[in-house]
Chain A
Amino acid sequence: MNTIETLIPDNKGNHLVVVLYFYDEIDKRHTFQIPEDYQNLEIADINIRKLDLEKPLGLKSLFKLCDWLIDQFMMFPNAIFSFICSMEDLALRHSAITPEEYRWKLFEALYHRSLKRLQSLDINSISIIVGPEGYQADARIFYRPRHSSIVHIVESHLKNKYR
């Protein structure tokens, strides 16, 4: 397992922990059915957590998070990044919505805030919604235009195999 991690201070006493988890060859070949032509492709899953779960988090750390993720993406020219929304409970509850809805809305707000920069860097994105009502998982994929064919292959595989 290969990971890259960073700790981002919010300058108010809390931190964000961010980890990129690179899927291994078995996952790439068997789970995602990546063809052999794309053996050098890397797929990294984004993991984000507040270090002190009981304390609020300063907004600036979220903006720094976006900068760090974009920098990492640019450092890996042959990578696709995914964000699979965690379903873990939240220490500070937002009772009107579920924890995963809260996380997803926050991530999407950051995504839309970064959209112009992503577009200027030619970084594409799609969201994936899995499941009927009662079981729903949300994810977002970031990729370069030259990898769009592989995203379509995986999309087709997911739709056909996992129907």
Chain B
Amino acid sequence: MIPKLNYVAPLSLKRTLKILSENKKKAKILAGGTDILPGFHINSKRFRDIELLVDIKKIGELKLIKEFKDRVEIGACVTFSQICESDTFKKFFPLLVKSAETVGSVQIRNRATVVGNCVNNAPCADSVPPLLVYDAKIEIQSLKRKRVISLQKFLIKPYSTALKKNEVVTKIIIPKPDPDFKGDFYKLGRRRAVAISRISLALLLKKKAGIIDELRIASGAVTPIGARLHELEKFAKDKKADSSTFKELSILMGKKVLQITGLRWSSEYKLPVLQQVFYQLLEKVNEEE
């Protein structure tokens, strides 16, 4: 059941911002709708107070993927299907494409947006770990100002972000990575499609003569929200890119996640799986030429 609410689809960003500033408490932005509509159905308290849905999909500029010399921008209404089909993303951000391909089903990917995935900030948000290792930034607009913050700072806690009621996320900005980075994305769900991630990992590795110059690691689902694991990244720096370093890193990974989440009923089987898949992912990325 959809609660009693009104619907508007403004044609410009300015109009959207005006509507939001006038209806601060009760308005909610609608992009893909694939989180909000199921939320209504289960009467989720996150969406119970909405009185006005502001559909931003009629705003042309928000539907675009834009490539620049040093970066790529994802507009607020860009869908996962658009990412899956984008040659630019296949070339520069293969981890994001791989994660996009694992989201829901064709039907979901045709509607769900990458920005929506970040704004919803579910622990299992599939696009978040890749975006984190690519150092993505979020552009936020209100009537009075525009601000850009890192995705990491944007994500505060499960289902909560730095976005204010009178603001719209207009785009995600991702710097093109150094081509020496190799990486991969891993997702474990209960089945292959329409599955919520139980473990997701994104890795980027840059080596110099067999030594780890930079390793970027982000996790999803096993941490309360998608997060970079900076301690592990620091530990890896300047170590030999070999099995013994990777084993140490995997042990550390287990310790770190346990430290973050505390001991849970699922820890006993989840942690060894996490350590093993992390280790295999490191080995796989390291073997890539």
Partners in one complex: no
Q: Which residues does B use to contact A, with CB under 8 Å?
A: none
